[in-house]
Structure 1
Amino acid sequence: MSDMPSRKPIPSSPNTENLRRLVLVRAATITLQCVLVGFAVVVLKFTLPIAPLLLVSCLLMMFNGFTVLRLRHARHGWTVPNGEIALQLAVDITAHATWLFFLGGGTNPMVSWFLVPLAVAAAMLPSRLTWLLTLYTLTIYGLLLFYYMPVSGPVGAPERAFQFHTVGMWLSFVVAALIVAGLVARIGAQLRKRDRELALAREDDLRNEQLMGVAILAAGVAHRLATPLNTMTLLVEEMQSEVGEAGPLSQDLNLLHKQLAGCKQILGLLRAQADSPKPCPVTQAIPALLDDWQLLRPNARPILRVLGIDAAPMCVWDFSLRQAMLNLLDNAADAAEGQSVEIEVDWRGDRLILAILDRGPGFDGRAARHADGAFMTSKAKLGMGVGIHLANASIEKAKGSLRWLQRAGGGTRTEIVLPLVGKAVKYSGA
């Protein structure tokens, strides 16, 4: 299963999320401006050029719709560069400047709205693009001080013009402050989350490199063990022929011969791991795994229960994943101390759930956990605990997960969740 690629949706890039936020802010801006213009005309009786203002709003809404279509393409892997974000902000600045041209230019209290796209640019874009947008905004603001259409206030109430201007300044500041605070806070949270994810990814890579170093060293040692294992096998066979089947050491020699055969089989699998593993039904893979395990643990008493009721799915296990399962079975057998080890196999959708249950001492919930989430058993506390780490790393590499649970009545339940590949096949029994 670890070698089969899984088709996943392409995650959103930071700029894609930023562009999505710009669409929402632009929609809110258009709505608010239309509401303010309608309030000024209907309630405050201002004389405003409605036709050009509506044209600007319609053009900006059309551009926002185009941006929404652009976001749909971004889901299929199209990147959103920084230049595109800068262009989006430049369009917002231009549209707001056009609004202000018909609404009094630099005398309009809504001129402070220019700070919103600049604050967004400072949070999203590199300094070069931010300074370019700042220069563009300052140029437009300077032009609006001299070129604009004056606004005609309510007839017969010129003394209230300053009051309207003050209230407009307050309202503009409040809305701009809320948008800047909310948007920049979200962007900052996204950046902090991304930094945490990068730090965790670096830690995982470092841990996996260390574990792979141990695995490579073990592979080299296994290669050198082939010759002494063959020598010991020949010596044991000669001793068996001399002692005979009824000799006092025949039982021990037979056990030793089985152990050597199991070691040679593991070395053979290690040498063959470069070959692509072939898919097989889960109901065949699990018994084959237990057969290999019992070559090295002849006294173990596994009890297999197949809980899946649908057709048995196909799976592909490489050498490292098989070794991870064997390590976990060894831990369960050590904890059981002569008692049987139960194995439950179930499949739901595209996931395989393999549970290893023992009646050992279990844990009380105070056991330490490593940074990688791997549970440290008492055996790992006494020794290196490399098997636990290697098992966890191999299962994570296979896009799976590993967890330990307290078992009702005492003991531990070790759950391995792995992805399945291929089609289901008919299965007639456990």
Structure 2
Amino acid sequence: MTSAAVMHRAVAGRQNMLQLVQLRWLAVAGQLATILLTEFAFGIALPMAPMLSVLAALVLLNVASLTAVRRGSSITNVTLLGALLLDVAGLSAQLFLSGGATNPFVSLFLLQVVLGSVLLDRWSSWALVVATSIAFAILTRFYLPIALPAGFDRSLFALHIQGMWVCFALVAVLLVMFVTRINGNLRAQDAVLASIHRQAVEEEHIVRIGMLASGAAHELGTPLSSLSVILGDWRHTDAIAGDPELVRDVEDMQAEVQRCKAIVTGILLSSGDPRGEASAATTVRELFDRVVADWIAARDFQALRYQDQFGDDVPIASDVVLQQAVFNLLDNAAEVSPRGMDVLLSRNDDELILAVRDQGPGFPAEQLANLGKPYNSSKVELGRGLGLFLVGNVARKLGGTLSAANMTSGGAEVTIRLPLTALELKEPA
């Protein structure tokens, strides 16, 4: 089971326990009102002390359940089954003290069965069916009969029918409230599962891209090394060494080959662990100053305005994957905004913020709605739309977010937010 699925299951367990807690509060209030009404309005004597003690035990159970949820304790299927069995025990005790199976509120056992069928695994649901059936059977033989005042004997059947009506109304109201809430939870859980599935598909896509890039980088390594050797030999030949113009051409070619080799090395490094042995200590300002300067030099793009409002510098690791993500972000902005762009580095508490603002036409609404998905681009060329997809996944892997918006003044703003803790240099084990 993936970590996302485990987290989803833990959240679902806590939500289900909260549902039980809320229903138990209603049950306690309903039982208290019924006991007081029966005792003081109808004058039917009940064993008040034991029945109120059962209600107090249910209140303590609710307090313990809430404490467990707030502490983040694991709420498993067995935990929920135990809570429902305690509810069955509490209801059985109240019925034992008030007429057993002759009490019209014995139908409340069905509410426990319905709750179990929705909240529990299959075997646990059947276990609850067995428990309630056994409790009902026992209450047909063992219970404390209700001592009715004089005159109630003639209207006993009508009183029983009224009790059944109250029980039916109570069960109907509780079921509607419960099922409505559960449906909301199920829709939220379906949305979470869909998000997990989409993320898995995207990560599989990234793995394939990484494998292709790594394979291409390995294949390019050999011809680039051969070109480097050949150019070195050419530079020392008499025909070229005696011509300054040819020497400059060879030097330019050697520089470009070295640049290609550096790119290939970066791809190979990125296909592995970006926080491994290749990571070097740096700071936020040093890293982003260098990345922006390298991008300007590589693209010969002089219309970039860089503002550093980060504040106090922080030591971090020099992350090759993050650098490539920033390159992709700047490439996208430069493509739609050749007249210029603004890059702002800032900080919000322990969060790094990098905003890139261009002067282009902005994002179409459909592209904004699907930000971060592969091949989500307004361009028709094959393979477009991977830049922001890769940037978004880098941000997500580092625990951050990628967002985009069209500005009212024109152009668009793409923002990366990263927790500084994710950029810390990890000490070797």
1:391-418 C-alpha deviation (Å, 9 max, x unpaired): 2222222222223322344333222222
Aligned to 1:129: 124
Deviation at 1:239, TM superposition (A): 7.4
35, 52, 57: which one aligns with 1:59 = 57
Write out aligned runs for 1:23-422 (5 A): 23-73=21-71, 75=72, 78-233=73-228, 242=240, 247=245, 258-273=255-270, 274=273, 275-276=276-277, 277-308=279-310, 310-337=311-338, 339-365=339-365, 367=367, 370=370, 372-373=372-373, 376-379=376-379, 381-385=380-384, 386-421=386-421
Q: Comparing 240-249 with 24-33, which one deviates more in the overlay?
A: 240-249
Aligned to 2:427: none
Deviation at 1:384, TM superposition (A): 0.5
Deviation at 1:50, TM superposition (A): 1.5
The answer to whether the Cα contact below 8 Å between 2:282 and 2:316 also exists between their aligned partners in 1 is yes
Give the SS at the match of 1:133.
helix
Give the SS at the match of 2:63.
helix
Give the SS at the match of 1:416.
strand
The percent identity for this pair of structures is: 26
Deviation at 1:37, TM superposition (A): 0.9
In structure 1, C-alpha distance between the alignment counterparts of 2:176 and 2:319, rounded to whole Å: 51
1:323-377 C-alpha deviation (Å, 9 max, x unpaired): 121112112222223x233211111112111112222333453547548546834
Deviation at 1:214, TM superposition (A): 1.4
- C-alpha change, 1:366 and 1:233, in structure 2 (3 Å) is same
In structure 2, C-alpha distance between the alignment counterparts of 1:37 and 1:170, rounded to whole Å: 16
Aligned residues: 409
The answer to whether the Cα contact below 8 Å between 1:303 and 1:343 also exists between their aligned partners in 2 is yes
Give the SS at the match of 1:146.
coil
1:71-125 C-alpha deviation (Å, 9 max, x unpaired): 355x1xx433322322222221122122112212222111111111111111112
1:30-73 C-alpha deviation (Å, 9 max, x unpaired): 22212211111112211222122123223333333343444355
The answer to whether the Cα contact below 8 Å between 1:204 and 1:372 also exists between their aligned partners in 2 is no
Q: Comparing 349-358 with 313-322, which one deviates more in the overlay?
A: 313-322
- C-alpha change, 1:346 and 1:28, in structure 2 (3 Å) is same
- C-alpha change, 1:362 and 1:69, in structure 2 (3 Å) is closer
The answer to whether the Cα contact below 8 Å between 2:95 and 2:143 also exists between their aligned partners in 1 is yes
In structure 1, C-alpha distance between the alignment counterparts of 2:138 and 2:354, rounded to whole Å: 71
In structure 2, C-alpha distance between the alignment counterparts of 1:229 and 1:354, rounded to whole Å: 35
1:7-48 C-alpha deviation (Å, 9 max, x unpaired): xx9984422322232223223212221221111111221122
**Amino acid across the alignment from 2:159:** F
The answer to whether the Cα contact below 8 Å between 1:314 and 1:421 also exists between their aligned partners in 2 is no
Q: Which runs of 5+ in 2 are unaligned?
A: 1-6, 425-429
Give the SS at the match of 2:357.
strand
In structure 1, C-alpha distance between the alignment counterparts of 2:87 and 2:422, rounded to whole Å: 50
Cα RMSD (Å): 3.2
With a CA cutoff of 8 Å and minimum separation of 6, indicate the structure with the bigger relative contact order: 1
The answer to whether the Cα contact below 8 Å between 1:402 and 1:415 also exists between their aligned partners in 2 is yes
1:254-304 C-alpha deviation (Å, 9 max, x unpaired): 765554343232233344554342342211111111233234313444321
Give the SS at the match of 1:151.
coil
The answer to whether the Cα contact below 8 Å between 1:375 and 1:404 also exists between their aligned partners in 2 is no
Give the SS at the match of 2:300.
coil
Deviation at 1:205, TM superposition (A): 1.2
In structure 1, C-alpha distance between the alignment counterparts of 2:244 and 2:362, rounded to whole Å: 42
In structure 2, C-alpha distance between the alignment counterparts of 1:341 and 1:233, rounded to whole Å: 36
Q: Which runs of 5+ in 1 are unaligned?
A: 1-8, 425-430
**Amino acid across the alignment from 2:54:** V
The answer to whether the Cα contact below 8 Å between 1:368 and 1:375 also exists between their aligned partners in 2 is no
- C-alpha change, 1:315 and 1:121, in structure 2 (3 Å) is same
Alignment TM-score, normalising by the size of structure 2: 0.83
Alignment TM-score, normalising by the size of structure 1: 0.83
Give the SS at the match of 1:79.
coil
Q: Comparing 12-21 with 266-275, which one deviates more in the overlay?
A: 266-275
- C-alpha change, 1:369 and 1:237, in structure 2 (3 Å) is farther
In structure 2, C-alpha distance between the alignment counterparts of 1:57 and 1:362, rounded to whole Å: 62
The answer to whether the Cα contact below 8 Å between 1:403 and 1:415 also exists between their aligned partners in 2 is yes
The answer to whether the Cα contact below 8 Å between 2:10 and 2:75 also exists between their aligned partners in 1 is no
1:199-218 C-alpha deviation (Å, 9 max, x unpaired): 32122212211222112211
- C-alpha change, 1:336 and 1:128, in structure 2 (3 Å) is closer
In structure 1, C-alpha distance between the alignment counterparts of 2:340 and 2:256, rounded to whole Å: 20
**Amino acid across the alignment from 1:216:** M
Aligned to 1:6: none
